[in-house]
Structure 1
Amino acid sequence: MNDTRFYWIITLQKICEMPLELLAKDELKNSMPVEAKNEERKKYTHLELLARILCGISPFLELNANMPGTDIREREIALHLLRLARKSLDIATCPDCRDYMNFEEGAQPLVDAAFLAQAIIRAPKSLWEQIDPSVRKRLIEEMKKTRKIKPYYSNWLLFSAMIEAFMFFAGEEWDKTKVDLILKAVDGWYKGDGVYGDGPLFRWDYYNSFVIYPMLIDILKVLSSQDDKWKELETKVIERAQRYAVVLERLISPEGTFPIIGRSITYRTAVFHLLALLSLYRKLPSQLSPAQVRCGLTAVLKKVFEKKGVFDEKGWLRIGVAGAQPLLSEDYISTGSLYLCTTVFLPLGVPQSDPFWKDPCEDWTNKKVWEGLNVKPDKAIEY
């Protein structure tokens, strides 16, 4: 196996294996520390952890569950994680279990039900078709509970739309009018040059990558066939997303760091969720070779996850970016929130024969420039 790919896999395993093992044994709530500024976050943190882990690892599980001939070491790790993921879905939706999760109290469950729906949509065979029908039924019922939660007029609208996309995916009744209104509202927040506002206002943060583009892309991937206007919007969203991906790649410094700006920076490598997603879907813009994205993201992984203090003594993620930095936290951040970092690992859903993994390493833009190489200028888009 490619050494870089194996490094990604063992890093992902280090982040998510222990929490999933505990949940699969119905021992997560009894064992998981909850680091947060606000005691109320304990009501939400466990669903946050499960949904966000699966949102990042589901393509890796899907690939290895359905593609014979994968590297033995990789397949062994992936199938172990898949067994844990399936059992975790069972436990999390079973009212008789200690680790039964909150899908309806407060507003936060809407967010993480949407991330969980996104995870399942990204692994339609291994995390849906191939799981027990009773678990599928319970998942649908839990997702339905979130429909009563009113989203904020922000990126949260996309969480409601993702729930409806999941209902369509699952063969349930879904609300086309709600989805249409949300898509129109979000499209109206577009500010130009690949950037959406988070609501009517623009903020300097990474929510275009954390939530807005990944949710838009996956919602439209599921639903665009249901409306010609949505099909047109899907094309426009991908073109805009490609521009934003160029920006994200240029934010990776020669050392593998990135600017610490905006809310939720303790999601760490989720800053590059969109760049990873376009790599998974093989939709990177022409300006970015898969190899330069791989090498840039690998530098980020090493800079972040090899830093002392990122994990506590038992292996749980700590709040921070470069180690434990609790002052970087907002009131809504807790231990479970941090696991959105797994979304950077989405390219593990393409096989090692893909150019993303097999092409020789290539420096990313900032590294090329600061080593004195000649590169083409950056250009804005007009739509």
Structure 2
Amino acid sequence: MKLPEPDHALSPHTGLTREHWVATADDLLDAAWRHASPDQAFLDLPGRPSRSGVRSDGLEGYARTFLAATFRTAHGDDPHHWLERYAAGLAAGTAGEWPAILDVGQPMVESASVALGLRLTKPWLWDALPEPVQDRAEAWLRESLRHVPAANNWYFFPYTVASFLEQAGRGDDETRRARERAMDLLQGWYVGDGWYSDGDGRAFDHYNGWALHLYPALDAHLNGRPITTHLREHLESFALLFGADGAPVYFGRSLTYRFAAASAVGLGAVTGETPLSPGHSRHLISNTLRYFLDRGSLTDGLLSLGWHGPHEASLQPYSGPASPYWASKAFVCLLADASHPLWTATEEAQDEDRTLALPGPGFLVQRHGGVTRLHNHGSDHVRPFEGEHASDDDPLYSRFAYSTSTGPTSRHNVPDNHISLVFRGDRSVRRRIHPLGARDNWAASWHRPVFEANQPMVPGLRVESVTAVWGDQELRVHRVVGAPPGMKAELTGWATDLPSALVPIRGWTGETAQTAPQGTAFTATAKVTTLTADVEGTVTLAAVAVLGGTVEDVDWDARVDEVLKLTLDAD
């Protein structure tokens, strides 16, 4: 990728300016368009197909790159004539080439990118289309209003289609209902601290920023209406979830969208709904963009399926060759023109150490030494109708801790940052998480251990857990309640090639080091420290973990009693 020379006067930390963002968009688009179909309706990028099939994957290539092109050209600047190509593809795609939008189908996802792109470039693309093409486009898009979305952020795909149709003078009761339905659901998913669950249940992840805030907040901004999605409050905590090197915290699904994680920061700057200064906002988005560009995210100019480079465990079954191009959402920052403070203010890095408890999602954020750790006592991605008995482990949601410099091990390796109970040869997983509170420097939760072979639940068995932090030190306290004779407990630490430690404080009697041969998104292989103990009845277990440091010589046993009094033993 050929970028302009860095400007270290305006951007002393990253060297990146608006011109670098524009050039990045152009280079990504140029590489993707080498794989366009003759009629320009599909961008058939190389790579493993998704479960939706190659036609859907080709539509995904068109729609997601279209979003980058329209953010890039939203002020009418289109020297590479991107919009002419997308107009031709729209005409061909809506003439019967594109797959139909059906219930919970991938084309519904892509309809939102098509609709938002048409809205952002309406004077130059939509208004120049022949009326028959407009009518065909409306007919294809409108099917998203008539079919069932997945029960989560997907409701904002028909919402975005409806918003465009209304702005194009084609609104009606059907578009109004689609918009009202999504906003009503969003209100029910709000838990506080600026965070929404991605659907019913407790699934908190990067979808907050690149979907649940982005679609309704951007729509309100474009319509000149007040923004009601708690975006400013969300950015208070979300801005901490980036390392000093620009890495987002690696947690939740769809991580192959990479620098889309910074889209909420750019959106806040564009709309003014942000607690961050313009210079701080630019540092966060540019540092994240540079993080991925500098670490091999591109293969032959294309975003690969992975994190740094290709990485299978970062993917989901719905991931296809063009899926990474939801990273296009980061280019929402280009809606701020060259005179906007986002681009004219001097870049500011704010990497001071900080701890923040978020009782809404059940998170404890620990930033120290340029690395952010996210201690998870509230996000599990378990749907209410699934219950607590399914034994599928989801490493992207079930672990007790995530960070900006480590990734969870795969579900086929030893789990990191996890407590499991071993009974009759079966190992438990953590499914539904029940928050018990978060305040100051601690967060707590409990869960019922679910065993991998789906053996009957042990009546009364539960694990109560607390994480408390001081600086870079993590005290992990677990109380096993109702353990039958013959049960063992295992606690694991960070999976990393960085200096780390997991030191027993109370109850643990054994220690081993296990290898995760599939590694993580950050390292090819990883060592995981494991503590073990026999448990029966009610047993309290405690250990201290550190990432990138050493355990301090303090009276940790006294701190265990102090933490228990504040949390699990509190009146």
TM-score range, shorter chain: 0.7 to 0.9
* In structure 2, C-alpha distance between the alignment counterparts of 1:353 and 1:304, rounded to whole Å: 27
Show the 5 A alignment for 1:282-297: 283-285=272-274, 287-297=275-285
* In structure 1, C-alpha distance between the alignment counterparts of 2:213 and 2:88, rounded to whole Å: 30
The answer for unaligned runs of 5 or more in structure 2 is 8-15, 355-366, 371-439, 441-571
Alpha-carbon deviation of 1:123?
A: 2.7
SS in 2 for 1:251: coil
* In structure 2, C-alpha distance between the alignment counterparts of 1:31 and 1:156, rounded to whole Å: 24
Of 16-25 and 154-163, deviating more is 16-25
Equivalent position of 1:23 in the other structure: 36
Determine if the alignment matches structure 1 residue 189 to structure 2 residue 201: no
Determine if the alignment matches structure 1 residue 104 to structure 2 residue 101: yes
Alpha-carbon deviation of 1:320?
A: 0.8
SS in 2 for 1:40: coil
Equivalent position of 1:156 in the other structure: 154
* Contact 1:120-1:127 at 8 Å conserved across structures: yes
Equivalent position of 1:311 in the other structure: 298
Alpha-carbon deviation of 1:249?
A: 2.1
Pair 1:110–1:50, CA change in 2 (3 A): same
* In structure 2, C-alpha distance between the alignment counterparts of 1:278 and 1:316, rounded to whole Å: 28
Alpha-carbon deviation of 1:81?
A: 2.4
Q: Note the alpha carbon deviations across 1:63-110, whole angstroms, 9 max, x for none.
A: 134xxxxxxxxx63xx43233333332333233xxxx32232561111
SS in 1 for 2:316: coil
Pair 1:290–1:6, CA change in 2 (3 A): same
Determine if the alignment matches structure 1 residue 332 to structure 2 residue 318: yes
* Contact 2:32-2:43 at 8 Å conserved across structures: no
Determine if the alignment matches structure 1 residue 11 to structure 2 residue 21: no
Q: Note the alpha carbon deviations across 1:291-346, whole angstroms, 9 max, x for none.
A: 111122111111102222x2333x33211111111221000111121101011122
TM-score, normalised to structure 1, is 0.80
The answer for unaligned runs of 5 or more in structure 1 is 66-74, 225-230, 373-378
Count matched residues. 344
Equivalent position of 2:406 in the other structure: none
Show the 5 A alignment for 1:110-121: 110-121=108-119
Show the 5 A alignment for 1:1-383: 4-20=17-33, 22-23=35-36, 25-26=38-39, 32-36=45-49, 38-65=50-77, 76=79, 79-95=80-96, 100-104=97-101, 107-174=105-172, 175=174, 176-221=176-221, 234-237=226-229, 240-281=230-271, 283-285=272-274, 287-308=275-296, 310-313=297-300, 315-366=301-352
* Contact 1:276-1:346 at 8 Å conserved across structures: yes
* In structure 2, C-alpha distance between the alignment counterparts of 1:255 and 1:206, rounded to whole Å: 18
Alpha-carbon deviation of 1:267?
A: 0.8
Pair 1:204–1:81, CA change in 2 (3 A): same
Pair 1:80–1:367, CA change in 2 (3 A): farther
SS in 1 for 2:302: coil
Alpha-carbon deviation of 1:22?
A: 4.4
Pair 1:30–1:262, CA change in 2 (3 A): closer
* In structure 1, C-alpha distance between the alignment counterparts of 2:42 and 2:90, rounded to whole Å: 15
* In structure 2, C-alpha distance between the alignment counterparts of 1:341 and 1:364, rounded to whole Å: 24
* In structure 2, C-alpha distance between the alignment counterparts of 1:370 and 1:305, rounded to whole Å: 24
SS in 2 for 1:357: helix
* Contact 2:99-2:107 at 8 Å conserved across structures: yes
Alpha-carbon deviation of 1:260?
A: 0.5
Residue type of the partner of 1:307? R
* In structure 2, C-alpha distance between the alignment counterparts of 1:200 and 1:41, rounded to whole Å: 28
* In structure 2, C-alpha distance between the alignment counterparts of 1:134 and 1:168, rounded to whole Å: 18
* Contact 2:44-2:58 at 8 Å conserved across structures: no
Larger Rg: 2
* Contact 1:291-1:362 at 8 Å conserved across structures: yes
* In structure 1, C-alpha distance between the alignment counterparts of 2:285 and 2:353, rounded to whole Å: 12
Of all paired residues, the percent bearing the same amino acid is 21
* In structure 2, C-alpha distance between the alignment counterparts of 1:41 and 1:116, rounded to whole Å: 19
Q: Note the alpha carbon deviations across 1:108-127, whole angstroms, 9 max, x for none.
A: 11111022112222333233
* Contact 1:162-1:215 at 8 Å conserved across structures: yes
SS in 2 for 1:360: coil
* Contact 1:103-1:113 at 8 Å conserved across structures: no
* In structure 2, C-alpha distance between the alignment counterparts of 1:81 and 1:161, rounded to whole Å: 26
* Contact 1:190-1:196 at 8 Å conserved across structures: yes
* In structure 1, C-alpha distance between the alignment counterparts of 2:162 and 2:37, rounded to whole Å: 28
Residue type of the partner of 2:82? L
Residue type of the partner of 1:236? T
Alpha-carbon deviation of 1:17?
A: 2.0
Alpha-carbon deviation of 1:210?
A: 1.9
- Ranked by relative contact order (alpha carbons within 8 Å, sequence separation 6 or more), the top structure is 1
TM-score, normalised to structure 2, is 0.55
Pair 1:24–1:82, CA change in 2 (3 A): farther
Alpha-carbon deviation of 1:191?
A: 0.4
SS in 1 for 2:348: coil
Alpha-carbon deviation of 1:349?
A: 2.5
Equivalent position of 2:364 in the other structure: none
Of 262-271 and 84-93, deviating more is 84-93
* In structure 1, C-alpha distance between the alignment counterparts of 2:353 and 2:65, rounded to whole Å: 30
SS in 2 for 1:12: helix
Equivalent position of 1:376 in the other structure: none
Pairwise CA RMSD: 2.9
